[in-house]
Amino acid sequence: MSFEWTKINDPDQLIEVSLLEGWGDGLPLITPTNDLVHAMVKSTNQDLEETLGKVPPKQKSLNIKTAATFSVAAGCQPNHFPVVVGACQAMLDPNFGLHTVQTTTSPCAVLIIASGPVAENAGINSGAGCLGPGFRANSTIGRAVRLILQATGGAQPGVVDRATHGHSGKFTYCLAENQQETPWKSLATRRGLETHESIVTVFAGEAPLNVQEHSASSADEILDALSNVTSGIIPLIHTHESDTLFVLCPEHATLLADSGLDVCQVAEELFRRIVRLSPQTSPAFCSPENILILVAGGAGKHSLWIPSFGHSRAVSRPLTIHKSL
């Protein structure tokens, strides 16, 4: 990959070059001028040439300058960049299994979850429409990570990225925890940090499955609805240990909490029900600890199940907001 494209000012030409080089997503790009790249780098207080690691499967080295360059191209602002860097560090952890995520025929994408003050500082939507359009941080942070995966990891669709269909999360897949409406401890706290600290978590997620439950008046009804959506799917698509993710709407989460369940008990109850639904096949997640619970979204009694595909574990990294932001 040549960085001569960074000097192209014509929007149409820039799109065509990005596609020819195998890292473009087909959408317009911002020309990453030196000033824009340096402004991005300053937001993390890291050195321009600091190496984050090698990105599989092509194993090209990723440094801060390269990450900043593609973040500018994706449309990020400087206050978004710490989340991009944290997501890159997390997905390069061996436990995430990025090589397989990049090359599988499964339709999985890197889902980025921000939790703590950094999410608010970056303007990442955690409420209504948090996985939809209309929010610059959600749109561009996920897009930056995808461009980096293609440019440095070589995950060109149909060539190295062998996803049979893929899904729209491969354009961007980013949201924040709704800490204003969660009835439980924050995700950062549950992942071992202090309440005031920030984390970014990466999860190899397939497309979300909607869990619609409008009439439930008890925790059992909510838990049954959440576990039932997995029935018949887990034995078919999960053959290796992985994590799985339930994104609960505030109304469902509040009902569960008001029934006396903490978030760990919710995971335990879901695990028990899922195992009962698939008595002949052990689910890929072998314990309640493999079930991630996140509260996000706005009004409405819709929650989500986001399965993984196996071979991958969710990984979190602490984040620090640079005082200049």
What CATH number should be reported for the domain holding residue 236?
A: 3.30.2320
For residues 270 and 177, state if they share a domain: no
Are residues 279 and 163 part of one domain? no
Instruction: Tell me: do 144 and 18 sit in the same domain.
Output: yes
Q: Domain limits at 250? A: 209-306
- Are residue 67 and residue 161 in the same domain, yes or no? yes
Does residue 146 share a domain with residue 224? no
* pTM, to two decimals: 0.94
Assess whether pLDDT exceeds 60 at residue 42: yes
Question: What are the pLDDT digits (tens) for 163-219?
Answer: 999 999 999 999 999 999 999 999 888 888 777 789 999 999 999 999 999 999 999
How much is the pLDDT for 320?
73
For residue 236, the model assigns a pLDDT of 45
Say if residue 173 is in the same domain as residue 298: no
Specify if 325 maps to a domain: no
pLDDT at position 321 is: 67
Residue ending a domain, among 174, 205, 236, is: 205
Is residue 317 within 8 A of residue 86, CB to CB? The reply is yes
Same domain, 21 and 130: yes
Determine, yes or no, domain membership for 315.
no
Is 285's pLDDT higher than 70? no
Domain-located, residue 317:
no
Domain ends where: 171, 205, 239? 205
Say how many domains are in the chain: 2
In a domain, 311, yes or no: no
Residues 95 and 173 in one domain: yes
Domain match, 115 and 155 both: yes
Same domain? 27 vs 120: yes
297-318 pLDDT, tens digit each: 999 999 999 998 777 899 999 9
Same structural domain, 15 and 136 = yes
| Tokens describing residue 142 | 């996920």
Q: Are residues 228 and 299 in the same domain?
A: yes
pLDDT, tens digit, for every residue of 83-131?
999 999 999 999 999 999 999 999 999 999 999 999 999 999 999 999 9
